[in-house]
Amino acid sequence: GGYDSLCNSCFTVVLEFFEWIFTTLFQSCMVSDRLARDHGCLGCMWGFAVSPFYMIWAGIMTIVTLVDRLGVTIANNIFGKNWLFFIDRRAKAKVYREIPTADGKEVSISSVLDVHAAREIAGDARKMFDQCKPSFSYHDHWNWEEVSLEALSKKVTWARKAALSTDKPMLELTPEEFQILEERITWAKKKKMESLSYSRFCLFLGEAVHDRFLAIEDSGHAFFGAPNQDYMN
């Protein structure tokens, strides 16, 4: 399956359509079984009673899914788009999510401050990355978006110059950190990379700001990345 060609797209549409058809037909059994496992005989009876409503909902979603997948097929294979969905946003993967930060009760205050500072840098890097128009079109996959390495390189160069002339730079790095970041991007160019993912961009940033987050405490070490770690292998 997949949407990388017209043939695969049509095959995927047919598969998902029949998946929803069978889901609709077996709603009475599925709902009753699920409720019976949780609530016994009474749950089974209640499942049979409410299963028609589930069947109606599944029928509606069958139509929505069919229209959505046909729309994606036509857009991607005929009009050259890179859509993940047409009308059904459930198809768009939510890769990024917020992770609760440490509250200082289990780690040192300095480490918590380092985490917050690192998150700010990562957030600024994400804004810069998004300004380069990330897309799935650089490789034959739908797992992560990438941006043009040349466009990102220009953004980094612009951010370095802006950091010297404004109070609110796009990316708050020191001249030495910008130099390391640009060296990593130059390395990527020498490797003939045409695009870069946000994750790899953050790895390059991690090397650039590594020394800033290296802190030695009495109880041990707290650092942003491993010393002398080669992120570019």
For 151-177, how does the pLDDT look when each residue is reduced to its tens digit (9 = 90+)? 999 999 888 888 877 767 788 888 899
Alpha carbon separation from 162 to 101, 128, 168, 184 (Å, rounded): 30, 13, 9, 20
Nearest to 124 by CA among 190, 30, 208, 54: 208
Q: Is residue 98 over pLDDT 70?
A: no
pLDDT at 227: 41
Q: 101: which 2 tokens?
A: 């930060």
Average pLDDT, the chain: 78
Q: Is residue 105 over pLDDT 50?
A: no
